[in-house]
Structure 1
Amino acid sequence: MNSDTFRKPARRLATLATATALAAGPAALAGAGTAHATTGHGRASAVVLRTGLDVSLLDKTVNVPLAVSLNEVQAPQSADRTALTATLDGVDGGKPFNVLGADVASAKATVTADRAEAAVHLAHARLHLPGLPLLSLVELDTVTSKATCETGRRPEADADVLGAVTVLGKRVTLSAGGPTHVKVPGVGEVRLDLSRRETTSTTAAASALELKVSINPLKLNVAEVEGTLTLAKATCETPSAPAAAPADPADPSDPVSDVKVQGAPEKETKLAETGGSSVTPYVAGGALALILVGGGAVTVVRRRR
C-alpha cells in the first residue's frame, strides 16, 4: 500500500516537470516560419487581322456577319501565313475569298518568367472585302506592331505603317495627329486611324491600323459592308515579380541577432552572440527539474521498501 501511495505522487511530479520543460520549447521557436515564393504568369497575344463586319445581301433583308481573326496567337505561339481566306454564305456562291493577301504575315507571342512580348509583321499586304473582288480596300508596304511587358519596367507599345498606302485605289498619306478619311463616289467611305497605342502600369497594346468602313459595292450579291477592321495588333501583360522570402530568425547572419538590449546583463548578451536566447535558461531549468524530480521519486520508493 505504501509503495502504491508514493508512486502516484512521484508520477504526478514527473508529469508536471515534463509539462514545464516542454512549455518553454514553443516560446523559443515562436519566431520560426516557412518561406513562400510565388511567380505570376504574364500574357501576350498577337493578331494579324481582326474583322467585325456586317454584310448586307441583295437577295435577303438580313445581315451576314463577318467576324474573323486571322493569324491570332497567344503565348507561347507563332504563325506565318501568306494565304488568308474566309468564306461567307451567300457571297459569290459561297466561294472562299482572300480577306488578306501578303508576302509576309507573321504573328508571334512569347512569355518567360519576367517578360511577355508580342509582335506582328506584314509586308506588301492587300486587304479585301466581300463584293469588291478586284479593288483592294487598302494596300500597304510594311506594317509592324510590338508590345513588351517586362517585370520592373514600364510596358512599351509601338506600331508603324511604313511606305505607300492606297485606299480604294487612291494613294493617301496617313497622319498620326488624327484619322484619315477617304471617299470614293459609287463605292463608299473609309476612315483610317494610324498607330494606336495604349499602356498602363502592367499592360500594353498596339494596333498599326484601325479602319472603319462603309462600302456599297453592289457586286457578288453584296449590297453594303459596314464595320471595323484592326490590322496588326499586339498586346501583353507583365508577369508579377516573385514574392520576397521572409528572413529566417534563426539565421546567424540576420542583423537583428547582433542587436544588444541596453542594460542587459553580460551573460545574456553573450548567449545572444553564440546563438542562444533569454529563454535558454528556462529550457535548461525545466530539463534539470525533470531529472531531479525523477531521481527523488526513485529514492523515496527505495527507502519505503
Structure 2
Amino acid sequence: MTRDWFERRTHSWDEWTVADLVRARRDSGTSVSLVVPARNEAATVGAVVTRVREQLMETVEFLDEIVVIDSDSTDATGEVASDAGAVVHRSADIRPDLGSVPGKGEAMWKSLFVTRGDLIVFMDADLLDWDTHFVPGLLGPLLTDSDVHLVKGFYERPLLGGNDPAAAFEGGRVTELVARPLIALAFPELAGLVQPLAGEWAVRRSAFETFSVPTGYAVELAALVDTVRSFGVDAIAQVDLGRRAHRHQALRDLGAMATQIMAAAARRSLGTRDEPGNDAVLLRQYVGSAGAIEPSERSVHTGERPPMVSVGHAAGGAR
C-alpha cells in the first residue's frame, strides 16, 4: 500500500452524515446487517445492542437487523442480547450438520447463514469506550464507492490503566508483535493499514462468502489478504473512528491468538491447505506454580471454514 493509497483510501468517520448514508442506502436498495460475535460478554453486550438499536434502527432506519452470534457462552450473553433487542443465534445451532468449533471466526462465518444484509458490519461485544458513529463510519466507503469491498476501522486504543498520553495506541499488542511483522515480511501490500486486526470492520456479503474463514482470531487478517488477492488493493479502505477501549486479555491468551494468526498467514503465503485431522496445534507455555515453573499446554484450533458459497444454504440455512 503506497502513500497514494493511504491518501485515497483513508477516511474519517465524519466525512458522511447519517442522513446522507441513509439516503444512499435507500436509493441503492442496499440492506445492512450488524453482526456482533460474542462469548461470555453479558456485562457489555446489552449496552452495545441497545445503543445501536436506539440510534440506528429506531431514530433513523439505517440497519435492517442486529444479530448476535453467541459463541458457546457460559454466562447470560444470549439472554442479555435478546432482551436488548438483538436477534440471537447460538453458533452451534446454525447449520448443525456442518458441526461446530469454538472461535470468533466460526461465529462470523456462521452469521452468513442467518443474516440477510448485502453489507455486513462486524463489531465486538466487549466495547467500553465507543459510540454509534462506528457503524455509519464503516459503511461510508461501501455505500459511496462500488469499488470498495472491505472497510477496516482504526482508532486510539489505549492500554487501560496507563496515564501516559503515549499509550493511546498501546492496546494492540498482537498487532504490533505479530500482525505487523507478518505483513512486512509476507503481505507488504497491507502495510498502509493502521490496525489490521481491528474487530470493527465491514464487508460486502458477495465478497466475504467467497473467502475461506479461519475459525479463530485470524479472520481479520485472512479477510484482508483474500480481499486484495480477489479484488486488488483498492478494494480496501480504512476509517478513523476516533477512540475505542475494551478489556484486555492475559498475555498467555494472546499467545493462542498469535498462533492462529501465524497459521492463517502461513497458509496464504505458502499456499498450504488443511489436511484432515491437522487443524490444531499444541501450544506449550510456562507458568509459575508454588515457586516452580510448570508447563501448561493447550490445543489451539487453526482450521478454516470453506467459502460459504461452496456450502450453500441447505439443511436449515435459509436466510
Q: Which TM-score band (shorter chain)?
A: under 0.3
Higher strand residue share: 1
TM normalised by structure 1 equals 0.21
Q: If you compute each CA radius of gyration, which structure gives the higher value, 1 or 2?
A: 1
TM normalised by structure 2 equals 0.20
